[in-house]
Structure 1
Amino acid sequence: MVETAKKFRRRAEARPDEVLDAALAVFVEKGFAAAKVDEIARQAGVSKGLVYLYFPSKEALLEGIVRRALAPIADDAVNRLAAFEGDPRDAIAMLLTVVCGQLSDPARMAIPKVVISEVVRFPAIAAMYRREVIDKVRPALEVMLKRGVSAGYLRDIDPEMAIRSVIGPVMAHVALVALFNVETDAGLDMDRLLTSHLDILFHGISAVRP
């Protein structure tokens, strides 16, 4: 009887994650707007009422997906940037390596794909993604770039605008894939993007003249 109770408790504790997994699968297949809670419940193998017990709306489901998968990555990035000392280019390479590595996982890539696809029709989704991910990392990255300028590692750049050059190509690559299905011959190819982006970011695109 005790063992049965433990199994039931473990099952109950796992259900929110099972619901989020099902929601992400349905959002990717149907799109956020077209997805129905009935479909999510069926995919998760639970009742519609149980879905609403944990998540009162589709927006809450998407927010739960982002918080579970991406918010911890953003929090870790903020901590790493705050603790980093030395050449900020090393920290940028580290940060982008982590981001591109995470996005190489189809399950994680599906999240920004859903967000980017739906932000125009559902601005609340954009606000949530900004709050949970972008607004955490952006200030920390800006502070680190300012420190890099003060320490002489970087020339006198505009840190606020430089951030866009750091994260912009990754977001553009994801958007090209998510919205326009523009992939490379090797598919998403995040490793190749990372290598190219860091090379251009740190060295520019102009040929070295004698």
Structure 2
Amino acid sequence: MSVNNPEKVTRQREERRSQILHASIGIFANKGLAAAKISDIAEAAGISHGHVYNYYSSKEELFVSLVKMLQERYGRVCEEARGREGNARDKLLWHARKIGEDENALNGMHVVLHAETIAGISAEEKREIPRRAVENLQPIIAIVKQGQEEGTFREGRPEELAVLYFALLNGVSGARRRGLGAVASPDEEQLVGLLCK
């Protein structure tokens, strides 16, 4: 790394941080914060154990950064779904498929869902997790309202239907993640169909 090019150094540092974060998703999803080891994450990232500490001062800092990244990424997918052309049903189908096809998204939903209950997370961060979740729900609420205006989606408070959709998506994702998909794995059509009249 050339110290003469600070932009390159910054970009490479951010790329390495992202590499570590992405490698940690499956580790934290499968082991949780307490049982996950920095050495596991380093191995998954293809770097040395000590090198992780050049980017994150602790496992807890890495975990908090991961939760924030996952929520921001999920928020972008929700916004993209809202901004798509077409009817509300097609927008939610696209959203459910986008999440369902991405192993990191499935693992990420699991990580975020349990983040608020972890002892190693500060009270301030525990308040931020639900705040970001509510923010991420707004595009889904807008899609539900659109579907109600189109006469496709059930009547009811759009906020409640959006939460129901999210809970169903999270439940299906969790079942697939745990290998229960072989028993029963509702597809996206069934999932979105539950909101339809």
- What residue number does 1:199 align with? 193
The amino acid that maps onto 2:161 is A
- Alpha-carbon deviation of 1:54? 2.0
Cross-structure match for 2:164:
165
Which residue in 1 is equivalent to 2:54? 53
- Cross-structure match for 1:101: 101
* Structure 1 residue aligned with 2:118: 121
Partner amino acid, structure 2, of 1:18: Q
Q: Which residue of 2 aligns with 1:206?
A: none
Q: 1:182 to 1:116 in 2, by over 3 A?
A: farther
Q: What is the CA–CA distance in structure 1 between the aligned matches of 2:26 and 2:153, rounded to whole Å? A: 43
Aligned equivalent of 2:38: 37
CA distance in 1, matches of 2:182, 2:151: 40
Aligned to 1:140: 139
Measured in 1, the distance between the counterparts of 2:152 and 2:26 equals 44
Matched residue SS, 2:182: coil
Aligned to 1:88: 88
> Retained in 1: the 8 A contact 2:75–2:136?
yes
TM-score, structure 1 as length reference = 0.65
Q: Count the aligned residue pairs.
A: 189
| Local SS of the residue matching 1:59 | helix
Q: Which of these two proteins has the greater Rg computed from alpha carbons?
A: 1
| In 1: Cα distance, 2:15 partner to 2:88 partner | 40
Read off the aligned partner of 1:113 and give its amino acid letter: H
CA displacement 1:9-59 (0-9 Å, x = unmatched): 5865542233224433543454211224355446543353x4333223323
RMSD: 3.9
Uncovered stretches (5+) of structure 1, i.e. residues with no partner: 204-210
Alpha carbons of structure 1 residues 51 and 72: separation in structure 2 relative to 1, 3 Å: same
Distance between the aligned counterparts of 1:11 and 1:173, measured in 2? 37
- TM-superposed CA distance for 1:197, in Å, is 1.7
State the 1:159 CA deviation.
Answer: 0.9
Structure 1 residue 96 displacement after superposition: 1.8
**Cα shift at 1:183:** 0.3
TM-score, reference length from structure 2: 0.68
Look up the match of 1:208.
none
